[in-house]
Structures are given as structure tokens and as C-alpha cells.
Structure 1
Amino acid sequence: MNWPGSARPPRPKTVATLRAEGYAPVAETAEGTVRIEKTRPQRAAGAVPAPRGTGAWGTRIAATGGAKAAAAVDPGILAVQLLKAPSTPPEPAPFDGGAAFATDTEEIVAWWAKHLPYNDVRQLAHAIDTGESITVEYVAASGNRTVRTLSRLMLDPPYLEAWCHLRDEERVFTLSRIHSVMSYLPE
């Protein structure tokens, strides 16, 4: 495209102009990956009031009614305390930098049911892969929550086709509406 003058407009101005016109452009790096831009939050002008529960000079009011000055934290002591803390964090999900998904089904379920905890994703994917029955908490489009026992699971992203024991018929469930997964316990 030939731009008036000798130089192209700056990328931020071009992206902002396109967005103002209703388009949804995505900036890319030189390597072709999406550029993630974070904007700093806007601060209100003027004085910021003291937090609730503080006195006129910024000291916190104790429950007894007396004023108690905030104690200064020594960064060295804090660092020692942090280093002494146990180093047993939970294993992160693959999308959070953890180990790779165990199966393709796990990855597909995790992609479509983003709010499910990783353990629920693994349990649902295992049931799909092995043909086991599973119990899920499902939220319908109306907002009603139900607990459904499902069998004969077939993954068809973004849906899960299954035999619903509650309705006693084949039903289609949206993966993003499954809010929790439990093992099926026959009655």
C-alpha cells in the first residue's frame, strides 16, 4: 500500500484506528506470533483517600480503639521466611506451564472447558477414552444446575454427546457448561 508521504503511520496508531472503525486487528511480532499488549491502569487525578479503618494520619485503628503504627517489614527477614517455606506447589496444568497433556483428548477437553480444574479435565478425558460412565455438574443455558450421569461418551468439540441417565435418552452437552466432574458410582 502506498502511504501519503514517505513513511508508514506508526503501528499503534494504525491498530487504534482500525479498532475505532470496528475491526479487530491483532499486532504480530516479526516472527509472526501475536503481540500481547498490556495497558497500564488509569489513575484518578487528585488525592487518594486513606483506606477505611485508618486514622487521619494513615495509622490503622486497632480493635481496642487505639492507634497502632504500621510495622516496617525487613526485606531480608521476609526473604529468609520465603526460602524456609515448603516447596511443594501443586502440579500446574499443561496450559499453565506444567507437563504435557497425557492424551489428545485431555488437550481438547481442556481447550473447550477452560474453567474446569485440571483434575476434572483428566477424569472426563479418561472417561471418554475408556468408555466409562461419569457424573457431571452441568449448567444449562437457562442457568439451571443439574447433576447428570453420562455414559457412551463421544467427543465432538465443543460438544460431548452422551447417554443421559436422568433423561433416559441421547443428549448433547456443551463442554464449557460442565462445571465439575465426579466418578460414577452405580446405585
Structure 2
Amino acid sequence: MGLYVINNNNDTTKKHHHIHKLFLLCNYILLGAASSCIFLTLSLRLFPSLCGALLILLHVFTILGAVSGCAAVSNGTNRWYSAHMVLNVLTAIFQGSVSVLIFTSTSSFLTRLDSYVREENGGVILKLGGGLGGVIFFLEWVVLTLAFFLKYYDIVEGNNNNGNGVGVRNEKVQNDEDLKDWSLAFKV
């Protein structure tokens, strides 16, 4: 899984390779944090409530965004890249707002969730989930930045598949192909 590095002597290829590894590492951490948030939410026993289900759905969308990011790097198609960017931006906004809401008004947020856990224990669990939500918010913006740089280095290196399997060609290859159409008298 991942991109193949052809020339390790090129400085941009080395940067691309390091950013690719960091991107995958951040996505794996994002997957772990989002699944941990799901288990914390389930430990609050708030699945029967609508707010609890929406909170779990937010973490599921975070997991889907991380998986689509790994698929975007593996396939290199614009479709997965666009889906990854849209999912991460939306979930980052919601993760950050839920995290701020948890830390500013824990008791009112807990009563709104209709949890069956005692308020003291529920507050601690909710703050743990809010802390992980803050980490997820930060990691999603890091992943978005790394995805932008990966796409940039793909275009610079000419590995960009425009959805139809045709990569961007450099000028020397294009000029050599243009010369094939000329008559022998013009070739020097």
C-alpha cells in the first residue's frame, strides 16, 4: 500500500516519501483515536439517545475519512482525494466544536445525552472523549496539510493520474514525441 518511489536521489522524491510515511502514521493515529472515542461514547451508555447516536456517527465519519485518505494515497485518483478532503474538513469542524462544547459545559452536555452513568463518572469519561476529540481535531488538520503536500509533490514529480491513467508528462518527453511527426529535413 502506498506510492512507489522510483528515484531516491531526487530531493523532492525524498520529501514526498517522508511526507507519505507521516501521512499514513497520522491516519493510523486518527483511526485509533476515533475508535477509542467510539468506545468511550459506548461506555457512557448513551446509544439509545439521538445525541449519542450522532456522536458515534461523527466518529464513524472520522474513521471513514482516515480510510479514504489511505485509499487516496494508495490509488492516486482524484475521486478518493476529494472524498478525503471533504470528509476531513467536515469532521474536523464538528470534532472541534464538540470538544469545545464538552469542555465548556460538561454537566449540561451530559444531561443532554441522556446517559445512565453517574454524573461524576460520566463527566470524567466525557472529558476523556473531549480530549481525544481535540487530538482528532488537531490531527485532521495535520492530515489535510500533508494530503495537500502529497498532491503537490505528485504533480511536481509527474505521478499525477488525472483519473484516466494518463500522467503529466515533462517537457523533454513531449518535445521528443513532437519531433517524430516532422520530416527528416527539419531534424538536425
* Shorter-chain TM band: under 0.3
TM-score between the two structures when normalised by the length of structure 2? 0.19
More helix by share: 2
Highest RCO, 1 vs 2 (Cα 8 Å, sep ≥ 6): 2
Q: Which has the larger radius of gyration?
A: 1
Q: Give the TM-score of the pair, scaled to structure 1.
A: 0.19
Q: Which has the higher strand share?
A: 1
